[in-house]
Amino acid sequence: MDYPNDQAPGAPVRSGIPEHGRVPKYYAVKARIDRLVGELGEGGPLPTERDLSERYEVARETVRQAIRELVLEGKLRRQGRGTVVAGPKLEQPLSLASYTEGVRRQGRTPGRNLVTLDRFPCPDALAAETGLRRGEPVWHLERVLLADDERVGLESTYVAVARVPRLDSDFDPDSSFYAWIKSQDIRFGDADERIETVLATPREALLIGTPPALPMLLIHRVSRDTEGQPLERVRTLYRGDRFSFTTRLHG
């Protein structure tokens, strides 16, 4: 296969153009708008659909489809009645580190808005997954994740009341749960983690402030302490247009 000299590692091979050379019209327009996005820079306003359709001599619906895909990919974002160039995606490490640490490493300010903090008897499914006892009291902590005041995710944490009995009075919901846990002389040992793509429910989309059709990255995590005892069960939704995940593999 003949690769262009400027083929970037990780970019679609031959820019995603099939070997037979027949490219959907919207995709050709998308590629041209993508180049324009690079020229405009973060926060730059995109020309209107009418202007772009005249510039590229295509129907407005073709332009609309191209823009829609670039929004879903996180390269553009809606702002008021217009569209602007989005900033780079946040990179979150796949490790036993907090959301706070990952966001701060990229020069952004992390934050959280409390949705709910309540307690209830541990149900069968949660007990089976974590090793907690059925019926024992558990906390449920739900928070909207922020980066520079932008809503970027939704996190639900389940932890036994016996492990942190004063969670409702001693913990600041805007702070890092991991840092607070460590301050209670509890140490994380290991965890099982699973990632999948989903669409948010109507409630989740409303809390995060995104359209229901926006793909989300869903992370399930079950953590244990250094003694192998169950510690937490976390379900975190991240906006697919604002996040990517990184890890280092060893042979």
**Residue 1: pLDDT band by 50, 70, 90 thresholds?**
very low
Question: 193-201: long-range contacts at Cβ-Cβ below 8 A with a sequence spacing of 24 or more?
Answer: 193/94, 193/219, 193/220, 193/221, 194/219, 194/220, 194/221, 195/94, 195/219, 195/220, 195/245, 196/220, 197/240, 198/237, 200/154, 200/237
Higher pLDDT, 103 or 59: 59
pLDDT recorded at residue 87: 75
pLDDT(206) > 50: yes
* pTM to 2 decimal places: 0.69
Average pLDDT, the chain: 83
Q: 135-157 pLDDT, tens per residue? A: 999 999 999 999 888 899 999 99
pLDDT(28) > 70: yes
pLDDT recorded at residue 27: 83
